Amino acid sequence: MKYLDLSLPDPASNLACDEALIEFFESTDAADGLLRIWESENHFVVLGHSNRIDSEVNLAACEFEQVPILRRLSGGGTVLQGPGCLNYTLILRNHIDVPATIGESFQFVLEHHKRCIQQMTGSHVAIDGVSDLVIEGQKFSGNAQYRKRRFALLHGTFLLNLNLAMIERILQIPSKQPEYRKNRSHEDFVKNLHLEPSEVRRGLRKAWHAGDPFLHVPKARIAELVKNRYGNPGWTRKF
């Protein structure tokens, strides 16, 4: 599997990069997949593809704290990005690297990550909800996916040292929540792993056998997607 450690300087470019990558793999005869890892230098909110901005985000708090709001390509819930939140992106071949169904794909990927984090922390890690990783009922990883004909994109977060109090201020209690959340506040529901990002990077590379560097970053397509989608307020506020 190819490996790409690439954190772009602005939120829109980081989101656009994932879409540009799956487009690149879908349009080529790639014989393997890709693991990308990135972390934003700045805080921003990311809506799931179909989330309604008014019900998921505290707009006044975002405006006051100058936290931009963007929307991603995949489904799932709304999250706060920023320093201390390590992100992964996997581009995998349908029916070869990853199972055909959404549920089986989540299970396949999260089993890899579950074993990886258990080895680092010594804690029991569980898969809960649709696509969460938890320790003692507290979520530290949320995940989503987007599928094309030949390739699937699965991506998600690892909370390492994110400002959890900021999540409480910025995000509403989600309109849809897994049963195990039990309507808990953000600060009671999520937790940081307090692991070094370099350690998690190494663990993920080992889990996915991601060794060879990926050298074909589609920069022009990323810029085009920022202009037409991820940097476009019309896209962010469409729901």
Please state, in angstroms and rounded to a whole number, the distance separating the CA atoms of residues 171 and 148: 30
The CATH number that applies at residue 140 is 3.30.930.10
Task: Convert the pLDDT of each residue in 209-236 to its tens digit.
Answer: 999 999 999 999 999 999 999 999 999 9
Please state, in angstroms and rounded to a whole number, the distance separating the CA atoms of residues 167 and 77: 13
Task: Convert the pLDDT of each residue in 1-32 to its tens digit.
Answer: 999 999 999 999 999 999 999 999 999 978 89
Q: Residues 21, 2: contact at Cβ < 8 Å? A: no
- Predicted structure pTM score: 0.96
pLDDT at 221: 98
Task: Convert the pLDDT of each residue in 36-74 to its tens digit.
Answer: 999 999 999 999 999 999 999 999 999 999 999 999 999
Task: Convert the pLDDT of each residue in 93-122 to its tens digit.
Answer: 999 999 989 999 999 999 999 999 999 999
Please state, in angstroms and rounded to a whole number, the distance separating the CA atoms of residues 195 and 116: 12
Residues in Cβ contact with 107 at an 8 Å cutoff, skipping those fewer than 6 apart: 99, 127
Q: Residues 34, 91: contact at Cβ < 8 Å? A: yes
Q: Which two tokens stand for residue 93?
A: 């071949």
Q: What range defines the domain where residue 92 resides?
A: 2-236
pLDDT tops 90 at residue 152: yes
Please state, in angstroms and rounded to a whole number, the distance separating the CA atoms of residues 191 and 160: 8
What mean pLDDT do residues 192-198 have? 98
Helix (H, G, I), strand (E, B) or coil at 172: coil
Domain count within the chain: 1
